[in-house]
A and B are shown apart, each in its own frame.
Chain A
Amino acid sequence: MSSIPASADRAAIASETKARGGARFWRLKSFARDRAAVFSALFLLVVILGAAFAPLIGHYGPDEADNLARYRPIGTLGHLLGTDQQGRDMLARLLFGGRVSLLVGVAPTLIAGVIGLGLGLIAGFVGGIVDQIVMRCLDVVFAFPMVLLAIAIAGAMRPGVLTEIIAITIVLIPYFGRLARTATQGVTPMPFIEAARAAGGAPVTIMLRYVLPNVFSPVVVYATTLMGLMIVVGAGLSFLGLGVQPPTADWGAMVAEGRVVLRRAAHVTILPGCAILVVSLAFNFLGDGIRDALDPRTIRR
C-alpha cells in the first residue's frame, strides 16, 4: 500500500527532473543560438587566457623600456602593436594591463553581488524595521552619482588596485541589494514558501533553501550586464591615477600615459581604449545573451 504513492512520487520526481533538465537544455540551446553572445564568450575567454599567460606571449616584459625603440608604430617587426614613448612593447603592456583591468572590472561586481544579494535577501525576507534600515542606507549611496562616489572614496584612500576594488564594490552594493530585495519580495508570498513554513521549516532554512535559489538568477544576469560598465568605470579611476602606479600597466592608466604623446604616437592612446571598448562590449553582449536565455518571456521565434 505504502509503496504505491512512493513510486508515484518517484515517477513525479523523475518527470520533474526531466522537465527541469529539458528547460536547462532549452536555455543552453537558446544561448547557443545567440551568435553575438557565444562569440563574446569565446572572445572573453581568449582575452582572459591572454592576460593569464601574458609572460608566455611575446619576447618583452611590460615594463621593459628601450630608448632605441621609442614610438614604433603598429606593425613594426618584433613589436606587433608598436611601442610607447619609453620604447615599451604595447602588446606586452596590453596583455599584462589586462590582468589589472579585468580584475578591477570583475572582482567588485562579484563581491558586491554577494554582499548585495545577502542584504537584499535579508531585507526582503525579514521585512519590517530591518528592511527599512537596510534600504535607507542603500538610498544614501544611490544619492551619489556612481562615478563621483567611487572617485571620492578612492581619492581619500591610498591609490592602488585594492582601493579601486573597494571603491567600486561600495558603489555597486545598493544596485544588487535593491534587485535582490525586489526578487525576494516576489518569491516570499508564493505557495511553496507558505508550505515550507507550514511544514515547520526554520526561517533561515527557508530563506537559504527556497528563496535564495529563486533570487540567484536575476542577480547573476545583472552581474554579467554590469561587468562591461565596471570595466569602463575601473578604467576611469585608473585614468585619474587612483589605481596602479607607474610603471605597472593597466588599460585606463595606459590611456592616461598615452595622452601625453597623443600628437606624436596616437596608437599609445588608441590601443588600450580599444581594449576597454571591445571587452566591455563583449561583456554587454554576453549579459544580454544570458538574460535572454534565462528569461522565459523572451522566446525566440
Chain B
Amino acid sequence: MASFLIRRLVGVLPVILGVSIVIFLLVQLAPGDATTVLLGPQATEAAKAELRQALGLDQPLPFQYLAWLKRMLSGDFGVGIATQIPVTSLVGPRFLNTLILTFSSLLLAMAIGYSVGLFAALRAHSLFDRLSMSVALLAGSAPPFWLGLILVLLFAIELRWLPVSGMQDMAGAGGAVDMLRHLVLPTVTTALGPAAIIARIVRSTVLEALSKPHVRVARAKGLGRAALLRRHVVLNALPPVITITGLQLGYLLGGALLTEVVFAWPGLGSLLYDSITARDLPVIQATALVVALSFVLANIAVDMINVILDPRLREA
C-alpha cells in the first residue's frame, strides 16, 4: 500500500517538473517585454533593470527557468502587479475558498449522480429513467456559467430564497449558516454538469453488472434484492465509477473557476479573472500552479481509493 503510494508520488515528479516548465513559459507567451509583463506598465526603468538583473533575463531561457524554479521552491512567487501584495498571501486564502466550493460540489455531484444513475438502471426504460437521462443530457451540454446566471435569476432575483453572490452577508450576522446559504447556488451550478456525466456512467455500469452471469446465478439462487445489489452489483460497479468521478475533478475545478466569477465567490477563479483583467501575470502563474498541483495530487488520491477497493490493482 505504502509502496504503491511512494511509487506513484515518485512517478509524478517528472510531470510536476513539466507543469512548472509550462507555467514558466506563460510569460514568454505574453506580448511585450518580460519586465513590463511582470512589473506592469507603470514600472520605472530602474525597477525594470533591477528585475532584469534579479531574474537573469539576459541569460538563456534554461538558466532563467532554473533561477525561477529555485525561487518558486523557496515559496517566492513574486509580487502581484495590480495589488503590490506578495502573491503567496494573495493566493493562500483564496485557495481555501476554492477548495470549499470544489469539495461541496464534488459531494453534491456524487450524491446526485450515484442515486439517479442507480435508480435509472434499476428501472431501465421507465419514465424516470428516460426523464432523468434527458435532463442529464441537457445539464451536461449547458455552459455552467450560464446555468449559474439562470439559477440566480430563478432563486435569488425572482424567488428571493438565496443570496445573489458573495460568500458572506456584509450586514448580517455572518457565521457558518450564512456561508452555507451563499454556498448553495455556486455548488449546484458547479455540480450539475459532472453529476449528469456521473449519472450516465453509473447507469450503464450498473446495467452491465446486472447482466453478469454471477449476478444471474445469485438471483436464481433466491438472494434478496438488497443483498444482491450490495454484494454483487454495487461492489463490482465501483471501480469504473470511481475512475469517472476522479475524471470529473478536472471539470469540477475548471467549472468552479468560472462559477466563482458568476457568483463573486472569493476563490482562485475570481482571482484569476481579476488578474487577467489587470494582466497580472505572477498571480496567473501562481494560481495555475496551485490548481494544477492539487489536481495531480487529487488524481493520485483517486488511484489510491481504487487500489484500496480493488485488490487486483495492487499487483500492477
Residues of chain A whose beta carbon lies under 8 Å from any beta carbon of chain B: 136-137, 139-141, 143-149, 151-153, 155-158, 228, 232, 235-236, 239-242, 252, 255, 258-259, 262-263, 266, 269-270, 272-273, 276-277, 280-281, 284
Contact = CB atoms under 8 A, between A and B. Distances in A.
A240 B258 contact: yes
B143 A156 contact: no
Interface in B135-180: 137-138, 140-147, 149-150, 152-153, 157
A156 B281 contact: yes
Contact of B288 (A152, A228, A266): A152
Nearest to B289: A152
A273 B255 CA distance: 16
Given A148-B291, A276-B143, A277-B142, A266 B153 contact: yes
Nearest to A157: B29
Interface string B276-304: 11000100110110011001100000000
B203 to A, nearest CB: 15
Contacts of B150: 269-270, 273
A266 B273 CA distance: 23
B261 interface: yes
Nearest to B272: A151
A52 B296 CA distance: 42
Contacts of A153: 26, 29
Given A145-B250, A276-B146, A284 B29 contact: no
B108 interface: no
B138 A281 contact: yes
B30 interface: yes
A144 B31 contact: no
Contacts of A270: 150, 153
A232 B251 CA distance: 12
B257 interface: yes
Given A145-B254, A266-B153, 9 more contacts: A145-B291, A148-B288, A152-B272, A152-B285, A155-B272, A157-B30, A259-B262, A269-B146, A284-B141
B27 interface: yes
30 contacts: A136-B15, A140-B19, A140-B22, A143-B19, A143-B292, A145-B251, A145-B254, A145-B292, A145-B295, A148-B253, A151-B276, A152-B26, A153-B29, A155-B284, A156-B281, A157-B30, A232-B143, A236-B144, A236-B258, A239-B145, A239-B146, A239-B261, A240-B261, A242-B276, A255-B145, A262-B153, A269-B149, A273-B147, A273-B150, A276-B143
A272 B153 CA distance: 15
